[in-house]
């Protein structure tokens, strides 16, 4: 019985000494990389992030859902970016185009309230350039005309 107690007591200091030498030889750990929503923050250039995205319905649907989340929270610029990504992944996704129109409308209204007519005009014109046959195109054209008169 005494031998059994002596053996573990002998091995504990030897193990601790060995563990101390092994851990001192490990290379220092790098801090984890931060996850960014944009490629520019990760050191990529604008040209790399501006590449046309491949057709991917799953990523389009994912971006649409994330955009809807942002839209419901009132973060219209973030929602608009996600809707743009969804349209890039799947250009024929009607739900993304419609949601993008709603986000542009809300952002435009916010810009009009703040008297930032140039930003509102740019938003409406950009949307019409991308989707001239959208259901909201007539509404946006009338808003552009009224803003340009001011």
Total domains in the chain come to 1
In angstroms, the CA 138 to CA 64 distance is 24
Given this model, what pLDDT does residue 4 score? 57
The answer to whether residue 9 is domain-embedded is no
84 lies in a domain?
Answer: yes
Assess whether pLDDT exceeds 90 at residue 108: yes
Question: What is the value of pTM for the model shown?
Answer: 0.63
Is residue 128 in a domain?
yes
Residue 49 and residue 22: Cα distance in Å, rounded?
43
Asked if residue 29 is part of any domain, the answer here is no
Task: Give me the CATH number covering residue 121.
Answer: 1.25.40.10
What percent of the chain is modeled with pLDDT above 70?
68
Residue 20 inside a domain? The answer is no
Distance, in Å, from the CA atom of 135 to the CA atom of 140, rounded to the nearest integer, reads 10
| Chain centroid offset of residue 145 CA | 33
Model confidence at 21: pLDDT above 80? no
Q: Name, in order, each residue with C-beta under 8 angstroms of 120's C-beta and a sequence gap of 6 or more.
A: 107, 108, 109, 111, 112, 143, 147
Contact 63, 86 (CB under 8 A): yes
pLDDT tens profile 10-20: 666 666 666 55
pLDDT of residue 20: 56
Q: Is residue 117 part of a domain?
A: yes
Band of pLDDT at residue 136, cut at 50, 70 and 90: confident
9 pLDDT higher than 70: no
For residue 25, is it within any domain? no
> Does 83 fall in a domain?
yes
Q: Which is more confident, 126 or 48?
A: 126
Domain of residue 140: give its range.
Answer: 50-149
25-79: per-residue pLDDT in tens?
566 677 666 555 555 555 555 555 567 789 999 999 999 999 999 999 999 999 9
């Amino acid at each position: 019985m005494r031998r059994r107690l002596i053996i573990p007591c002998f091995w504990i200091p030897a193990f601790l000494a060995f563990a101390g030498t092994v851990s001192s030889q490990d290379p220092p750990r790098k801090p984890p990389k931060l996850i960014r929503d944009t490629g520019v923050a990760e050191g990529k250039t604008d040209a790399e992030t501006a590449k046309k995205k491949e057709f991917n319905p799953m990523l389009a649907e994912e971006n649409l859902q994330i955009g809807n989340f942002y839209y419901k929270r009132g973060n219209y610029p973030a929602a608009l970016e996600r809707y743009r990504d969804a349209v890039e992944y799947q250009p024929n996704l009607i739900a993304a185009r419609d949601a993008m129109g709603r986000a542009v409308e809300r952002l435009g209204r916010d810009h009009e309230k703040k008297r930032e007519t140039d930003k509102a005009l740019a938003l409406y014109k950009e949307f019409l350039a991308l989707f001239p046959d959208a259901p909201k195109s007539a509404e946006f054209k009338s808003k552009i005309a009224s803003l340009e008169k001011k």
